[in-house]
């Protein structure tokens, strides 16, 4: 087990290093941020002074080595625009993004699993066919278009909820969040629903497939032969077995909710990391862009590492297969 964990951690470190190369060089060869920072009337001396102040006069490989040295100490660079550490800016906007991602994941599980369970138990009913047809729309419709339609319908036409912003922030057990106030919940509903639509469709299809497979297994037939009620068979035996892959996949999808919330945050003016990224890209604020992408990489790598370790604990065959490979 120890060898397995060490090997996975070394692989994770290698992935982070390779991604740092791709992210740093990919971001730093695009555009010239100097002309976004100096006045149009600035002379060549002012331009050269700005280049030296930002360290852009050094070779790209030297800039990368300085970035690695700083990253090892928790410093991912200083924002060109705000003059503050990029990591500080991202951490300031992270709570809003985490709220949005957790709420979207909750909606995906709370809506997708019951609908998938019904579709799996009654596959030939009209309601089940309607659920599966609707799930296709969740995969197909573009997020930005759905977001605009939600704003027009629920915010503009019906006036039920606000269209933009985060809302009031409350405190519970020392934790500050907009989820603790009615105003905050009304503000987060539309962006969370928009972000969750794809995951709801995924949860529906995963749950339905798991139920259809489980209902034909011998343990279900045996449970029926023992005279157990249908309710007990479904919620004790079937759900227990299908929830492992469903929860695992949805857990991995949590990383994508954080990483791909950019469009949703932009449409709903949600003050999270995604909106910060868009602003940084428009202003060519390279350190913020690099820091954001590296944090997202760390999220994905950490989540996958945790899943690998948990799986190896639950199923020793995973470790054996890894050693055989």
Measured in degrees and rounded to the nearest 5, phi and psi for residue 175 equal: -105, 125
**Residue count (the chain):** 325
Query: In the predicted model, what is the mean pLDDT of the chain?
Result: 81
CA 81 to CA 33: how far, in whole Å?
Answer: 10
CA 117 to CA 233: how far, in whole Å?
Answer: 13
CA 28 to CA 111: how far, in whole Å?
Answer: 42
pLDDT at 48: 75
Tokens describing residue 295: 């944090």
Residues 6+ apart with CB under 8 A from 323: 3, 4
pLDDT at 74: 80
Q: Given the structure tokens 């489980």, which residue do they identify?
A: 214
pLDDT at 83: 79
Q: Average pLDDT for residues 202-227, to the nearest whole number?
A: 82
**Residues 66-108: pLDDT tens digits?**
888 888 888 888 887 777 888 888 888 888 888 998 899 899 9
Contact indicator for 214, 220 with CB cutoff of 8 Å: yes
Q: Given pLDDT bands bounded at 50, 70 and 90, which one contains residue 317?
A: low
* 164 phi-psi bin (left φ>0, alpha ψ -120 to 50, beta other): beta
**Residues 44-55: pLDDT tens digits?**
777 777 777 777
Q: Average pLDDT for residues 124-132, to the nearest whole number?
A: 88
Task: Give 240 or 264, the one with higher predicted confidence.
Answer: 264
H-state helical runs in the chain: 2-28, 34-37, 44-53, 60-72, 86-121, 126-140, 143-150, 182-214, 218-225, 230-232, 239-259, 262-267, 273-282, 286-314, 317-324
pLDDT at 292: 87
Contact indicator for 197, 146 with CB cutoff of 8 Å: yes
Q: Average pLDDT for residues 141-151, to the nearest whole number?
A: 87
Predicted TM-score (pTM) of the model is 0.77
- The neighbouring-strand residues paired with 175 are 172
Contact indicator for 71, 246 with CB cutoff of 8 Å: no
Residues 6+ apart with CB under 8 A from 193: 104, 107, 150
pLDDT at 322: 54
Query: Is 321's pLDDT higher than 60?
Result: no
pLDDT at 44: 72
Measured in degrees and rounded to the nearest 5, phi and psi for residue 85 equal: -55, 135
Contact indicator for 299, 253 with CB cutoff of 8 Å: no
Q: Is 149 strand, coil or helix?
A: helix
Query: Is 309's pLDDT higher than 80?
Result: no
pLDDT at 311: 64
- The neighbouring-strand residues paired with 177 are 170
């Amino acid at each position: 087990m120890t060898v397995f964990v060490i090997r996975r951690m070394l692989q994770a470190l290698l992935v982070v290093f390779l991604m740092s190369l791709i992210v740093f060089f990919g971001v730093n060869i695009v555009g010239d941020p100097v002309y976004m920072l100096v006045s149009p009337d600035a002379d060549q001396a002012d331009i050269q002074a700005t280049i030296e102040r930002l360290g852009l006069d050094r070779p790209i490989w030297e800039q990368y080595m300085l970035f690695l040295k700083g990253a090892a100490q928790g410093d991912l660079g200083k924002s060109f625009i705000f003059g503050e550490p990029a990591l500080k800016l991202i951490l300031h906007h992270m709570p809003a993004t985490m709220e949005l991602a957790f709420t979207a994941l909750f909606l995906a599980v709370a809506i997708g699993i019951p609908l998938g369970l019904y579709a799996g138990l009654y596959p030939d009913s009209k309601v089940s066919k309607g659920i599966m047809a609707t799930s296709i729309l969740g995969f197909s419709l573009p997020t930005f278009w759905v977001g605009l339609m939600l704003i027009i319908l629920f915010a503009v036409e019906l006036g039920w909820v606000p269209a933009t912003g985060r809302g009031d922030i409350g405190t519970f057990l020392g934790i500050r969040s907009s989820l603790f106030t009615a105003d905050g919940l009304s503000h987060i509903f539309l962006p969370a629903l928009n972000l969750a639509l794809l995951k709801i469709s995924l949860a529906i299809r995963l749950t339905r497939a798991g139920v259809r497979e489980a209902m034909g297994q011998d343990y279900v037939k045996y449970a029926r032969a023992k005279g157990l009620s249908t309710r007990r068979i479904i919620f004790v035996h079937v759900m227990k077995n299908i929830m492992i892959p469903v929860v695992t996949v949805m857990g991995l999808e949590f990383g994508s909710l954080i990483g791909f919330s950019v469009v949703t945050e932009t449409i709903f003016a949600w003050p999270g990391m995604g909106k910060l990224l868009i602003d940084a890209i428009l202003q060519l604020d390279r350190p913020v862009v690099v820091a954001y992408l590296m944090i997202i990489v760390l999220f994905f790598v950490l989540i996958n590492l945790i899943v690998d370790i948990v799986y190896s604990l639950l199923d020793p065959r995973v470790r054996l297969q890894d050693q055989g490979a």
